[in-house]
Each structure stands twice: as structure tokens, then as C-alpha cells.
Structure 1
């Protein structure tokens, strides 16, 4: 049966308009994105098949081009559309954060950093450079690869902070293992950075470790 033949209250688009997007299931939201199904399968049926094939919504959204396009009902056009949608979401979070005091918006900071780092298959160390009122100047990825005390250079971080006129910094990095617990190396790196930046009166406000479903704050743990 085509979705057009369903009762109006059960059609994903009409349901979204009547009740809001939060009322829809993952399959219903994905069906709206897909727009059409395939022979013998409605868009909702196809969405359910895809969620099963990928093991959930997140693996589908984070799939690379080859994996994504290999599934029936998907392809390069849908992959491009999805990447554009995800980037719009990240930019929306960034625009929200730019209007806020980062120090008083921990939930928004967490969401933004998670959107930038959670999906990466490698470890990446990044920073939110802030002005003296803790408004975001810029987000930048600084170092990539396995992090240890030799792979993060405080001098380079300080140089970039001075170039941008930053008065404070929030650091973040991801753990591809999915476990967000800070390591001893994470603590050592943070302390080295804090000491180096203090020489230039640049405050390290926090360091977030991004995991699979959790984002751990050094400040909240009393590690700064």
C-alpha cells in the first residue's frame, strides 16, 4: 500500500506538520528524507530496512560514501543531500553558539563539539577560540592522530590564539573507541597547555572529551 493510501494522521509529512518533528520515529523522519520508496516498498518500509541494515540511525548518517551508496534506494544524490543536511545542522549549532556566552552554554557547546568530532574514525584535537567575553571567534582542528605529550604543541596553540586575539580557549578531542573517560595523557596535555597559555593571559576554560554518546568536561570533573 502506498503512503498516499494511509490515513492522513499516519503519513509522516502530515504527522510532522500536525505534531512536530519530535513526534516522529527514526524511520518516519528518514522516510521524509528519502521521499520515495522502491518497487514493492513504501518510503517508510525502505527506511526501516535501511535502519536495520546499518544497525541504527547514527551508523547510517555517519556511513562513508561507498557504504551508503551500496544500499538499495540510496545513491550519490542522496549521499550529497544527506551531507548537505548534516552540514546545515552543524552550521546552525555554530550560529547559535556564536550568539551565546560559551561558558554559560555548556549544553550547546557539548552539542556543537560532538557534531564536529564524534563521527571521526581518528583522534582529533580541536579548540574553540573565544574573546574576552567568552564569545566564539573560531573553531579549529589543531592536531590529528594518536595524542600524547609529544604530538600537541603548546607553542603552536599559543601562536594561533594570539593571531586570533583570543582571551580564552575551550579544548576538545574525540576518543574513537567511544569511551569518553579522560586518560592520563589527556590530563598531562591539558596542564601543559594551561601553563603555556597562562603566560599570555589566555585562560583555558575547559577541555571536553567526546565519546560515543557522552561528552566529559574537565572543568566539571575538577581537572582544571
Structure 2
């Protein structure tokens, strides 16, 4: 049965308009990009097959356009459409920086860093430089490493903070393995950054570690001033 022959309340487009996007399953959301199925399957069945064979969703959406276009039912047009939608979502979050929005709580900063860093295949160390009201002055990705390590130099973080005339800094890095739990080395570099920034009168607001699940805020765990890990 074609989707147009489904009960109206079950059709993905009508369901989204009536109940909002959160009411849709992953396969239904993906079906809206696909538009139509192939091989005797409707769009939702085709989307479900993509997720079953090339998922989960994160893995599928992390693929580049050249790889996506080779998957069943995709092709160049659909692959480009999907990648463009993901980039629009990323730029929407980045627009907060352009408006100088304030990052006053760990959750808002974690959402920002998770979108920017979670898909990266290497470990990346990044920083948000803030003014006295925690409004964003600049975002920079400062160090890039391997799949499980990135060398971080506190002196360079301080230099960039001084360049932006920042009053405070939030730093973050990703764990490509997916496990966000901070290591002893992560806690050590947090302590070093806190000391280095304090010497020039700046605050380290937080160090956020990004993985597959919820990000970890070292500020929430009380580790910013606790000294190096034992």
C-alpha cells in the first residue's frame, strides 16, 4: 500500500503538521527526505531498511554525500538534500554565536559543543571565548589529534583568550570512541588551564567532554578547582 493510501493520521507529512516533528519515528523523518521508495517498498520502508543496514541514525547521518549517494534509494539529489539539511541545522546553532548569546549554563554549552564535535573522527579541542556577561566573542577549534588523543597547550589557549580580550573561557573536546567519561589526563589539563587562565585574570567556566550519550560537564562535577586527578 502506498503512503498516500494510508490513514491520514499515519502519513509522515500529515503527522508532522498535526503533532510536530517529535511525534515521528526516525524512519518517518528520514522518509520525508527520501520522498519515495524503491524496489516495491514505500518511503518509510526504504528508510527503515537504510537504518537497519547502515544505521544507527548517527552513523548514517555522519556519512558524507559521496557515500550516501551510493546507498539504496538515495542517489545524488537525495544525498545532497540530506547533507544540506544537516548543515543548515549546524549553522542554525552557530547563529547563536553571531547574536552574541550568553552561555550561562552547562546544558546550553554542551548542546553547542556536541553538535560541533560529536561527528568528528579525530579528537578535537575547542574553546568558546566569552565576555564578562558570558556572551560569545569567538569560537575556535584549537587542537586536533588522533582518534584517542589531542595535545593541548594551555599557553596557546591563554594567548587566544588574550587576543579576543576574553573574560572567561569554556573549553571542550570530543571522545571519538563515544564514551564521554573524562580521563585522568582530561582532569589534569583542566586543572592546568584553570591555573593558567587565572594568572591573567580570566575564568575557566567549564570543560565539557562530548561523546555519544550525554556530555560531561566538569563544572557540574566540581572538578574545575579540585586540582589534578589522583
Q: Counterparts in 2 of 1:69-148, with a 5 A limit?
A: 69-96=69-96, 98=99, 100-104=101-105, 106-146=106-146, 147=149
CA distance in 2 between partners of 1:102 and 1:25 (Å)? 31
What do the CA deviations read for 1:174-212 (whole angstroms, capped 9, x no partner)? 111111111111112112222111122111000001111
CA distance in 1 between partners of 2:17 and 2:142 (Å)? 42
Q: Which moved more, 1:93-102 or 1:111-120?
A: 93-102
Q: In structure 1, what is the equivalent of residue 160 of structure 2?
A: 160
What do the CA deviations read for 1:145-187 (whole angstroms, capped 9, x no partner)? 1446xx2122221121111121110000011111111111111
Q: Counterparts in 2 of 1:12-91, with a 5 A limit?
A: 12-91=12-91
Contact 1:38 1:46 in 2 (8 A): yes
CA distance in 2 between partners of 1:46 and 1:123 (Å)? 34
Q: In structure 1, what is the equivalent of residue 219 of structure 2?
A: 219
Q: In structure 2, what is the equivalent of residue 5 of structure 1?
A: 5
Q: In structure 1, what is the equivalent of residue 227 of structure 2?
A: none
TM-score by length of 2: 0.89
Residue ranges of structure 2 left out of the alignment (5+ in a row): 225-230
Contact 1:93 1:108 in 2 (8 A): no
List, as ranges, runs of 4+ consecutive aligned residues in structure 1 with deviation greater than 6 Å: none
Between structures 1 and 2, the one with greater helix share: 1
Q: Cα offset for 1:69?
A: 2.5
Local SS of the residue matching 1:103: coil
CA distance in 2 between partners of 1:143 and 1:54 (Å)? 31
CA distance in 1 between partners of 2:57 and 2:113 (Å)? 19
What do the CA deviations read for 1:21-71 (whole angstroms, capped 9, x no partner)? 111111111111111222411111111111101132111111234542221
TM-score by length of 1: 0.91
Contact 1:90 1:112 in 2 (8 A): no
Q: Which moved more, 1:72-81 or 1:166-175?
A: 72-81
Local SS of the residue matching 2:119: coil
Residue ranges of structure 1 left out of the alignment (5+ in a row): none
CA distance in 1 between partners of 2:222 and 2:18 (Å)? 45
